[in-house]
Amino acid sequence: MLKIVHYINQFFANIGGEEMAHIPAEVREGIVGPGLAFKQAFKDEAEIVATIVCGDSYFNENIDEAKTSIIEMVKKYNPDLFIAGPAFNAGRYGVACGTIAKAVKDELNIPVLTGMYVENPGADMFKNNIYIVSTKNSAAGMRDAVKKMAPLALKLGKGEKIGASSEEGYLPNGIRVNFFEKERGSKRAVKMLLAKLNDKEFQTEFPMPDFDRVEPNPAIKDITKAKIALVTSGGIVPKGNPDHIESSSASKYGKYDIDGVIDLTEETYETAHGGYDPVYANLDPDRVLPVDIMREFEKEGKIGSLHRYFYTTVGNGTAVKSAKGFAEKYAKELVADGVDAVILTST
């Protein structure tokens, strides 16, 4: 039976959310959290002998120390395979999974595997170094992720030949291998063309990158007469988060009236964001959404006016497709309200 060491963050270890992201690495015997799903998928072919838990903030703020301590933990168990995550679209978790998986592979010469959503920054950073199974963008896709990761994990642990990314479910890693197709290229091309002409599904053999190119607007001619709006992905909301914007993988945005508001205070506003330490943003929400300084500029005549509404959502784990959809909706409102420019703040 294959021996596996599993790496997860504080959230999946059921320790806590952002408030516990500072915990250093620790090792626990056996299965924790999502390891149970892997156990069921592996059946009698593999077992998770230990689970390493580390806070996302701790890992990313202490990378060298975290790597060193985790490598020593892994060594102790002499596993046949190391699995990290899956991290879905959680950025810091994805970077941690990719970083430690690559370190285990390079330093211990042990096969490694992780899983992430394609838009996770960790996926782009490490897809050419390690096997990363493509997952859905949130933990709701855990069952699907394990279903794809488990068979590939067993192949890696047993040293079996790994097929193409389209067959095994991992993100393309830039490696090209020559092989013989059953049908010649011209016949395959005609089949794809016919499918396309008839609005049927087909898969290109040479995918091209799809870049979202946006032409910048011309500079504001006279900023002292411009109406400026504030938009943020930093999650600043009225106290109590009245629209219940999610702390991660947001499905909505909020529009809030700041007419007459000079300063965002701790008593009236807060952040709903779950991807950074909220303490300083909650103490002074203007640190993320600078209403106070914009009011100063307005009073001094440096800008024409501050738009009476601000738009907000949470960027943590939110898919690009969703964010683009939000912007398409409220951009029309901003244009209709005569807004000349937008300041988009993040974290």
Per-residue three-class SS string for 271-336: ECCCCCCCHHHHHCHHHCCCHHHHHHHHHHCCCCEECCEEEECECCCCCHHHHHHHHHHHHHHHHH
Q: Which residues contact 172 (CB under 8 A, 6 or more apart)?
A: 127, 165
C-alpha torsion 26→100→143→324, nearest 10: 120
C-alpha closest to that of 135 among 157, 166, 114: 114
d(CA 198, CA 36): 45
Beta pairing partners, 25: none
Q: Under a CB-based contact definition with an 8 Å cutoff, are residues 258 and 310 in contact?
A: yes
- pLDDT score of 165: 85
Cis peptide before 86 (omega within 30 of 0): yes
d(CA 257, CA 334): 13
Q: What's at 93, amino acid-wise?
A: Y
- pLDDT score of 257: 97
Instruction: Give the residue carrying structure tokens 């679209």.
Output: 89
- pLDDT score of 17: 86
- pLDDT score of 308: 96
Q: What distance lies between CA 243 and its chain's CA centroid? A: 23
Pairing, β 309-312 against β 254-257: antiparallel
pTM: 0.66
d(CA 93, CA 28): 19
Pairing, β 81-88 against β 2-9: parallel
Q: Under a CB-based contact definition with an 8 Å cutoff, are residues 83 and 114 in contact?
A: yes
Q: Which residues of the chain form beta strands (DSSP E)?
A: 2-9, 26-29, 46-54, 81-88, 112-116, 131-134, 227-232, 236-238, 254-257, 269-271, 305-306, 309-312, 341-345
Q: Number of helices (H) and strands (E) in the chain: give both, helices first.
A: 11, 13
Q: For the chain, list residues with pLDDT below 50.
A: none
Q: Under a CB-based contact definition with an 8 Å cutoff, are residues 246 and 314 in contact?
A: yes
Rounded (10°) angle between helices 63-77 and 91-108: 50
- pLDDT score of 247: 87
User: What topology does CATH give the domain 2-168?
Assistant: Rossmann fold (3.40.50)
> Where, residue-wise, is CATH 3.40.50.2300 in the chain?
2-168
Q: Write the burial class of residue 243 (CB in 10 Å: 0-12 exposed, 13-18 middle, 19+ buried).
A: middle
